[in-house]
Copies of this chain bind each other. A is one copy, B any other.
Amino acid sequence: MPATPKKTNPSMLDVARHAGVSIATVSNVINRPEKVSKATTEQVRAAISELGFVRNDAARSLATGTTSSIGMVLADLDNSLFVDMAHGAQQGADAIGLRLLLGNAACDLDRQDDYLRLFDEARVGGVLLSPMEDSLAGIERMRSHGRPMVLLNYDQDGIECCTVLVDNEEVGYLAARHLIETDCRRIAFVAGRDYYQPVHARRVGVQRAVREAGGAVLEEIDTDGLAFEDGVAVARALGERSTAQRPDGIVAVTDDIANGIADGLHAALIAEVPGDISIVGCEDNRSARSGPVALTAVQLEGAKMGQAAAELLLEEMNNPAGEHRHRTVVVRPGLVVRASTAAAPLGV
C-alpha cells in the first residue's frame, strides 16, 4: 500500500514524458486534436489514462484567462421557487456548454456575500443572483469588478444590472380572473405589507381583474404578515360574519396565507373549500403544503426565470463591457388549478 505514494496528481509534463513527446503536444491532443497525428494522439491518450491524468483547471484558466463555469447564488434552496430557478438556469447554461455552480445562501446575507466573493475570486464567467433584501453592497462590489451578473426577482431602483422579474400584477390578475371565471362574485384580496413591492403589484392586478369583470365586488382584507397564521386569523374573522357577508372567492397574496385561510375555515367548520369559498394562492411554492386542500395558485415560473437569466448573462458575457445595455425581462406567471377552487363551469 505505501508502495504507491501518489503524492500529487500527474501533470501534463508527466504525461508528456510518459508518452515521449513534448508538453505542447499533450496540450494539443487535448485541445486541438486535429493538429496532432493519429499515432501520437494514441500514445498520448494511452499515457493520459495510464497515469490517470486530469487537467488542472486552475492552471488552465490562469493561462487562458477564461472559465467554463458560471455561478449562481440562491437566497434559499428550501424555497422551491429558487430550486426552479436553478433548474431553468441549468437548462440555459447547458445549452451553451457552461457549467452552473450553485451556492446556497440559506437566507444568510453573509453567506451570500461569501459566495459572491468566492465566485469573483474564481473568475467565473458570470454570476446569477437571486438577492435577499439589502444586497446592494455585494451587488455593487461585483459590478464594479466588471463581472457580468444578472439579478433574479429583485426589483429595486438604481441597480445597473440585467434583471429578470416576474409580472406580479399579472399574478394578481390571473388569480382574480380565475375566481371570476369560476363564478365567484364577492372577491376578497387578503394581504399584508403593501409597502412590499410584489404585494402591491398583486393587489393592483386583482383590482384590475375585478374592475374589468364588472358585476363582481372586491373587498381588501389586511393582515399583519404573510404567513400561515395570518391566514388562520383571517379565517377566524370570516367566521364571525354571516354567510352572506362572506366572500365566495379569495385571492391570498401568498401560498402560506392561502393555506392558513383554508385550514382555519376547515378546522372551525366555517366553510367548505371550494364548496362555499374558493381560494387562490400566489407563488405556488412546493414547500407550502400545510393546508387541508390542494391549493390552486398562480405560479411564478421559476424555471423560466432561471433560463431567461442565463440567457441574459450570456448576452452580457459575449458583449464588450462598453457595448452592453442592461435589460429587464419580465416573465409571465401561470395559473395552476387544483382543488381549492371550483372547476370552471362547462362550456366556458
Contact = CB atoms under 8 A, between A and B. Distances in A.
Interface in A285-301: 286-287, 289-290, 292-294
Interface string A41-59: 0000000000010111111
Which residue, A58, A59, A103, A292, has most C-beta atoms of chain B within 10 A? A58
B289 A69 contact: no
A160 to B, nearest CB: 12
A1 B269 CA distance: 66
Interface stretch (A116-124, A181-189, A192-200, A307-315): A116-124
A65 B8 contact: yes
Interface residues of A, number: 55
Interface stretch (A82-90, A148-156, A208-216): A82-90
A106 to B, nearest CB: 7
A104 interface: yes
A146 interface: yes
A145 to B, nearest CB: 6
B123 A56 contact: yes
A9 interface: yes
A293 B294 contact: no
Contacts of A121: 54-57, 60
6 contacts: A9-B123, A9-B145, A56-B62, A58-B67, A99-B103, A100-B104
